[in-house]
Amino acid sequence: MLKIGVMASGGGSNFKAIIDHIGEGDLEAQCKFLITNNGTCGAVEHAKEYGIPVYHISGKTHPVAAEYEAALMDVLNRYDVDLLILAGYMKALPVCIVRRMENRILNIHPSLLPKYGGKGFWGIHVHEAVVAAHEKESGATVHLVSEEIDQGRILAQAKVPVMEDDTPEVLAARVLEQEHNLYWKTIRDYAAQL
C-alpha cells in the first residue's frame, strides 16, 4: 500500500480531501504523518481528527537551519514514505529534502503553471494577478517539486473559467474546488507509475 506524508501550513482543505478519499477507498494509501510549520493551522486539527501524527517543525521550533533540516530528515527517515505531498505548505523545502525525495514530492499550485508560479505567487496573490491580467481561464496544477519553485514537471492540470466580475476570492474558491478533485487522482495515477 502507498505510504504518504503530508506537509501543510494552512486550513488543510486539500489535506482533508486526500484523507477523505483514502477513507472512502478511492485512494489506496496510508497517511503516516503531517509536518507543519504552523502548529495552530487547520491541517493540524484534521490530522488529530484522523489520528495522524503531527510534527511542528519551523523556524520557531528549530531556529538553526541545520537543525531544521535535520528535524525534517528525521521524520522522513523514520517513516520512509513513498510520496511526500505538499498541501498548502508555505515554505520552500530545503534542497537536501528535495534531493532525498527526488521525483517523489508532489505539490499543488493554484494556477495553470508555468503562468503565475514562482517567488511571490502563492495563495490569494496568484488569483489577484490572474484577475488583474484579465485572463480568460485559470486553474490548478499538480507538479513534481524541484529545486526551483514551481518549476518541476507538470503531472496534471484542471482548468476553470475566469469570469469578468470575478474577485480574487471568488476565483480562489472555484480553483480550490478543482484542487480537491484533481490532487488525490493525480497522487493515485502517479503512484501507479512508481
User: Concatenated DSSP letters for 6-74?
Assistant: EEE-S--HHHHHHHHHHHTTSS-EEEEEEEES-TTSHHHHHHHHHT--EEE-STTT--SHHHHHHHHHH
* Nearest in space to 39 (alpha carbons), one of 16, 62, 64: 62
DSSP 162: -
* Residue among 113, 187, 100 at smallest CA distance from 152: 113
Contact by Cβ (8 Å): 41, 11? yes
Is 72:94 a contact under the CB 8 Å cutoff?
A: yes
Residue 77, helix vs strand vs coil: helix
Report the SS3 class of residue 2: strand
The catalytic site residues sit at 109
